[in-house]
Amino acid sequence: MYHHVKKLMYTVTIGEPDPKFGKMLLEQFGGANGELAAAMQYSIQGFNCEDAARKDLLMDIGTEELSHLEVVGALIRMHLKPMKSNREAAEADPLVAIAGGGGVALFDSMGNAWTADYLKVTGDLAVDLRSNIAAEARAKIVYERLISFTQDQGSKQALQFLMTREITHMRAFTAALDSMEKPQFSVGIIQPTPHLVDQFFNGSTGESQYGESDFVGPWNHGNGLVPVESEIKGGEGLDVKPYDPQPGTEKTSSIDSTPVGEYTNGVGKKQAALHEKINAEAAKNAVVEV
């Protein structure tokens, strides 16, 4: 259940309204990496989460992002205000000015309607947490750019507040992923094909007119990875020998989501039972330490 408190999480004040900056700010209201996207991504992951502890985390942050939507919305409204009565201001975004009456709406800085296509929700907790870490990094960089495009102190401070929270959330999601105690590259329940998984394929070669060329770095040499040249360049190509997948071979965590699929060799049932047990244990105390 949700409750709304009329007080904004952060008190927004601005100097002179700057409608073109207001339009830029819409990125963080109805844009791909904006506050609604964050709120929905985490909350819906939370609705689906089988682990009660990390569900709490997802709902905590998902709800805070809704509060941020309200804060950034208030900031934007202050900047958009001249669109209501000034033709030149209105020209910058007629969708906001004419159709929306000069207020905020779920569009980005170029008038694209918000879409759930922005969200990354797989229902696999360890995967979703990675999507969230990346989402927070994106939101951080977008806020920073907005800060670096305005000189209005009130706006800068409000954006600094919102930007800071993204780093907090990035740290929290990272801690939650770490607390699952999974090996760094273990995803799901089926191990990748040995040998093939170590081959880095050199799909782009040669030198450009602008001096770019072919590099050897830690991503194709070292870290267990070896470079493989394409047959078109006289190389051996990837090791494409057929290999049968084996559900249940990958290293998993007790916190992992129940794997999806009809032929999971019973891993699904075991994991579902494990969740029930962990959550039942946890539910015995009002506030639980993991």
Q: Which is nearer to a copy of itself, 159 or 274 (CB)?
A: 159
Whole-angstrom distance, CA of residue 159 vs CA of residue 220: 39
Q: Does 286 bind a copy of itself (CB under 8 A)?
A: yes
Q: Which of 101, 183, 249, 251 binds a copy of itself (CB under 8 A)?
A: 101
Q: Which is nearer to a copy of itself, 15 or 233 (CB)?
A: 233
At closest approach, how far in Å is the CB of 85 from a copy of itself? Answer: 5
User: Could you write out the DSSP letters of every residue in 244-255?
Assistant: ---BT-S---TT
Q: Binding to a copy of itself (CB under 8 A): which residues in 224-263? A: 224-225, 230-233, 237-238, 240, 242-245, 247, 257-263
Non-local (6+) Cβ contacts of 263 within 8 A are 247
Q: Binding to a copy of itself (CB under 8 A): which residues in 138-197? A: 138, 140-142, 144-151, 153-154, 156-157, 159-161, 163-168, 170-176, 178-179, 184-185, 187-190, 192-193, 196-197
Q: Does 121 bind a copy of itself (CB under 8 A)?
A: yes
At closest approach, how far in Å is the CB of 278 from a copy of itself? Answer: 11
Whole-angstrom distance, CA of residue 78 vs CA of residue 244: 60
Q: Does 103 bind a copy of itself (CB under 8 A)?
A: yes
Whole-angstrom distance, CA of residue 117 vs CA of residue 229: 36
Q: Does 273 bind a copy of itself (CB under 8 A)?
A: no
Whole-angstrom distance, CA of residue 120 vs CA of residue 274: 26
| φ and ψ at residue 201, rounded to 5 degrees | -90, 125
Q: Are 84 and 102 in contact (CB under 8 A)?
A: yes
Q: Does 79 bind a copy of itself (CB under 8 A)?
A: no
Q: Which of 203, 236, 249, 254 binds a copy of itself (CB under 8 A)?
A: 203
Q: Which of 14, 183, 215, 277 binds a copy of itself (CB under 8 A)?
A: 215
Closest CA to 43 of 66, 22, 21, 24: 66
Compute CA distances 3 → 6, 7, 62, 63, 65, whole Å: 10, 12, 14, 10, 14
Q: Which of 14, 15, 16, 31 binds a copy of itself (CB under 8 A)?
A: 31
